[in-house]
Chain A
Amino acid sequence: MSAVVAEHEHDHEHDHHDHGPAKGILRWIITTNHKDIGTLYLLFALVMFFVGGAMAMVIRAELFEPGMQFVEPQFFNSMTTMHALVMVFGAVMPAFVGLANWMIPMMIGAPDMALPRMNNMSFWMLVAGVLLLASTLFMEGGAPASGWTLYPPLVLQTGKALPFAVFSVHLLGVSSIMGAINIIATIFNMRAPGMTLMKMPLFVWTWLITGFLLVAIMPVFAGAVTMLLTDRFFDTSFFDAAGGGDPVLYQHIFWFFGHPEVYVMILPTFGVASTIIPVFARKPLFGYSSMVYATAAIAFLSFIVWAHHMFTVGLPMAGELYFMYATMLIAIPTGVKVFNWTATMWKGSMTFETPMLFSIAFVVLFTMGGLTGLMMSVAPLDFQYHDTYFIVAHFHYTLVPASVFILMAAGYYWLPKWTGHMYDEKIGKLHFWLSAVSVNILFFPQHFLGLAGMPRRIPDYAVQFADWNMISSIGGFIFGASQLLFLYIVIHTIKGGTGEKVTDEVWEDAAKHGLEWTLPSPPPYHSFTTPPTIIPTEHI
């Protein structure tokens, strides 16, 4: 226990600051509290998950059968574009920022985030950005329909929506950057005494690295879309061959952002999995330091592999080979992670509550997504795989049963802590099994479609692709419907859940694994007002 705390004891007569939250709706608008903002982020992400999901349902409904049944091709393209943008920038990223807001101060023994006012601003900018993006759906010429990658020259054909989409990306970028700065500052400056970097839970570590990724890449993306804007409205020709520009240059800049961006979504996923698996295996994580180094290695590699998204644009031979070899290297640290999780389970004493089920499904299905990723890292093979449903299957395996499943796992794992109520385990397990089975019915056949020659981003297809598309759509509908169970569980748990009073630890011996389990359930409005004295190191 430090001298700092001892000093505190003398100050009894200072003016009082807020004791608790403000009342009513204003609490949520002006809040600077990490838990309130975390809750806002998580709920916003959940809403956006359903908005993006609804768009996915439109896509799967149109693809249920060959022929055009429901929507015009242009609207279909808007749907694929908006589905991706909403899911990436509206659902998955904010959900992880929400988790970071809630959990990082509690995990490192801090009272709150480092920059609370900025925290509030970054959330509301996110809302503004996403609403602005959504508003483009109702504009003349429709929402952007050029894919989430916004490749020129196609994106320059967008109707009235282009400047709005660009400004919304600016807002989302600024919001992410502020969130990342806040998280980095919190981790560097707000740790409790004794919480050294190498004792931090892996979730904190992965977010630290993710924060740096965001700070490095979001400005580049914002710059790229700004160039699109000036190309369209101010007569520049960054990407226009007619003015000496090059459309492929945009792809280079985009993927310089875009590849680290996909790791922004997967690194915190790794962090949560590494937090949950040891608790339910009742064992320390097998290799804590190798997990930290592997995360850093993956983050570093993400900056030097971008052109593997562009093998077919006509790179010189040396470029093709370099990006192939560099991409293959990613398999090594990723393999280390998968082996680590497996070794953590090995000879443990496992129980299979819903968070653990989702985490195990994550390890298995993410590995499958990783293996197809290894296949497409082979440049010559990518000349067949590129821009087909094989790619769609690959990245959905690394995003849905990986990032989304882990977000579900995190929800089940921490909901009792957040609310002080226990969720209904039976419905949780039902949700898991429905999701795990349907997600495979949804995405596994897409491997076959891609290999058989079905391009991605098409609203209609040749009849030989009909059967697998129908199966995939059925899986999609079941998966979509199953998520309503999660919505039910969240509401039900907030309202009191099973009625069973949860302990501070919630899960057996969880306090050995993380500081958050030493706080009451639900935790006080300000987490650690005095720094904790004992740092749990079981996770190490």
Chain B
Amino acid sequence: MHLCVCRYASHVSVNSNVEQKNSRLALKLLLVVLGMTGFGFALIPLYDVLCELTGINGKVGTRVDSSTLNYVVDKERNLGLDLVTSLGKATPLIVETETKSLQIHPGQFYVVNYRVHNQADKALTIRAVPSVAPGVAAADFKIIECFCFEPLRLEAGEAKNLPLRFVVNPGIAQQSNHLALAITFLNTNKD
């Protein structure tokens, strides 16, 4: 029995052949592992693209150049739009919108003003995150000008009026007749 062990284990011609095959396969599988690691990270941009297309979470995309939009105002359709704001934890702001809800026509450009007042006695860097409900309408909700694209700095006690300009694609689905634009103000100071 033992003799067999030795012969098998030490038989260079057979063994090295199989060993070579083994390490080659292991290497190939390692490449798959590396590829899947890359894929894991690639999911981040992929997801963003997918979100913009499908409106997962009502995620609103980035700034839209208004000159690229050729919308015709649809006076026949009236959509409800609620402007809601939320504050994250540890975000000492008072946020007001000039109106809480409005009726809009798809294709028409609108500006709404947000007034943000820093209640703290120190400067804050705020990130405003827009989100649209229903999620499917997010792709049709085009934000042209917004304070939500860059971090927003507010000095201690400072109040700012911030305009948000948007238009809704006239091609928006019929069932999306009542939208909500939710903007969450999050304090990014990490102390």
- A185→B36 contact, CB < 8 A: no
Interface residues of A in 232-275 (CB under 8 A from B): 235, 238, 241-244, 246, 248-249, 252-253, 256
Are A524 and B47 also in contact (CB < 8 A) when A11-B10, A14-B10, A181-B26 are? Answer: no
Of all chain A residues, the one with the shortest Cβ separation from B2 is A19
Asked if A115 lies at the interface with its beta carbon under 8 angstroms from chain B, I say: yes
| Chain B: minimal CB distance from A282 (Å) | 32
A190 to B22, CA, bound (A): 9
State how many angstroms separate the Cβ of A466 from the closest Cβ of chain B: 34
Render A70-97 as a binary contact track against B, CB cut-off 8 A, 1 for contact.
Answer: 0000000000000000000000000000
For B6, give its contact among A14, A218, A219, A244 (CB under 8 Å): A14
A456 close to B (CB within 8 Å): no
B7-46 interface code vs A (CB 8 A; 1 in, 0 out): 1111101100010011101100110111011011101100
Q: Which chain A residues border B181 with CB–CB below 8 Å?
A: none
CB–CB A17/B9 < 8 A: yes
* In the bound complex, CA of A526 to CA of B6 (Å): 10
CB distance from A411 to the nearest CB of B (A): 27
As a 0/1 sequence over residues 51 to 70 of chain B, the CB contacts with chain A under 8 angstroms (1 = contact) are: 10011111100000000000
A426 interface residue (CB < 8 Å to B): no
Whether, in the assembled complex, A8 has its beta carbon less than 8 Å from a beta carbon of chain B, the answer is yes
The A interface is mostly helix, strand or loop, or mixed, namely helix
Within 8 A of A (CB), among B139-184: 184
Residues of chain A in range 181-227 having any CB-CB distance to chain B below 8 Å: 181-182, 184-185, 188-190, 215-224, 227
A217 and B56 contact, CB distance less than 8 A:
no
A386–B187 CA distance with the chains assembled, in angstroms: 32
Distance in angstroms from B47 CB to nearest chain A CB is 5
Whether A219 contacts B36 in the complex (CB less than 8 A), given A184-B25, A525-B5, A530-B4, comes out as: yes
Chain B residues with Cβ below 8 Å from A313 are 57
Q: Are B43 and A252 in contact (CB under 8 A)?
A: yes
The 8 Å CB contact of B18, one of A17, A189, A319, is A189
B64 to chain A, nearest CB (A): 16
B7 and A189 contact, CB distance less than 8 A: no
Contacts of A184 in B (CB 8 A): 25, 29
Number of interface residues of B (CB under 8 A): 49
B4 touches A248 (CB 8 A): no
Chain B contact residues: helix, strand, loop or mixed: helix
What residues of chain A lie closer than 8 Å to B187, measured between beta carbons?
242
- Chain B: CB-nearest residue to A19: B2
Chain A interface bracket (under 10, 10 to 19, 20 to 34, 35 or more): 35 or more
**Closest residue of chain B to A530, judged by CB?**
B4
- Residue-wise interface mask of A (514-540) relative to B, using a CB-CB cutoff of 8 A (1 in contact, 0 not): 000000000011100110000000000
Query: Does B135 sit at the interface, judged by CB under 8 A?
Result: yes
- Give the residue among A238, A242, A248 with the most B Cβ atoms within 10 A: A242
- Check B37 against A8 for contact (C-beta < 8 Å): no
CA distance A222 to B38 in the complex (A): 11
Q: How far is the CB of B156 from chain A (nearest CB, A)?
A: 20
Q: Does A4 contact B (CB under 8 A)?
A: yes
CB distance from B186 to the nearest CB of A (A): 4
Q: Is A144 an interface residue (CB 8 A)?
A: no
For A241, the chain B residues whose CB sits under 8 A away are: 127, 129, 184, 186
Q: How far is the CB of B49 from chain A (nearest CB, A)?
A: 12
Contact B127–A243 (Cβ < 8 Å): yes
B188 at the interface (CB under 8 A from A): yes
Q: For the complex, is A508 an interface residue (Cβ under 8 Å from B)?
A: no
Q: How far is the CA of A221 from the CA of B2 in the complex (A)?
A: 44
- Asked if A317 is an interface residue, CB under 8 A from chain B, the answer is yes
Contact partner of B135 among A111, A115, A235, A314, CB < 8 A? A314
Compute the total of residue contacts between A and B using a CB distance below 8 Å: 152
**Docked complex Cα distance between A318 and B136 (Å):** 10
B14 touches A4 (CB 8 A): yes
A188 touches B5 (CB 8 A): no
Chain B residue, CB-CB nearest to A531: B8
Nearest CB in chain B to that of A241: its residue = B129
Q: How far is the CA of A16 from the CA of B9 in the complex (A)?
A: 9
Say whether A316 faces chain B, with CB atoms less than 8 Å apart: yes
For B5, what are the chain A residues with a Cβ–Cβ distance below 8 Å? 17-19, 111, 524-526, 529
- The answer to whether residues A219 and B54 also contact, given A11-B7, A243-B127 and a CB cut-off of 8 A, is no
**Cβ of B188 and Cβ of A526 under 8 Å apart?**
no
Q: Which residues of chain A from 85 to 126 have a CB within 8 Å of any chain B CB?
A: 111, 114-115, 118
**What residues of chain B lie closer than 8 Å to A7, measured between beta carbons?**
11, 13-14
Q: Is A324 an interface residue (CB 8 A)?
A: no
Inter-subunit contact A185/B26 (CB<8 Å): yes
* Contact A224–B4 (Cβ < 8 Å): no
- Min Cβ gap B92→A in Å is 15
Chain B positions near chain A (C-beta within 8 angstroms): 1-11, 13-14, 18, 21-23, 25-26, 29-30, 32-34, 36-37, 39-41, 43-44, 47, 51, 54-59, 88, 127, 129, 135-136, 184, 186-188, 190
Interface residues of A (CB under 8 A from B): 4, 7-9, 11-12, 14-20, 111, 114-115, 118, 177, 180-182, 184-185, 188-190, 215-224, 227, 235, 238, 241-244, 246, 248-249, 252-253, 256, 313-319, 524-526, 529-530
Besides A316-B56, A319-B54, 14 more A-B contacts (Cβ < 8 Å) are: A8-B8, A14-B11, A15-B10, A17-B9, A19-B2, A19-B5, A188-B21, A190-B22, A219-B37, A220-B40, A224-B40, A235-B190, A253-B40, A526-B9
List 13 A-B residue pairs with CB atoms under 8 Å apart, sorted by A's residue number.
Answer: A8-B8, A20-B2, A115-B23, A189-B21, A222-B37, A224-B40, A242-B88, A242-B129, A244-B127, A246-B57, A246-B59, A318-B54, A529-B5
**Nearest 5 CB-CB pairings of A with B:** A223-B40, A242-B186, A219-B37, A220-B40, A219-B36
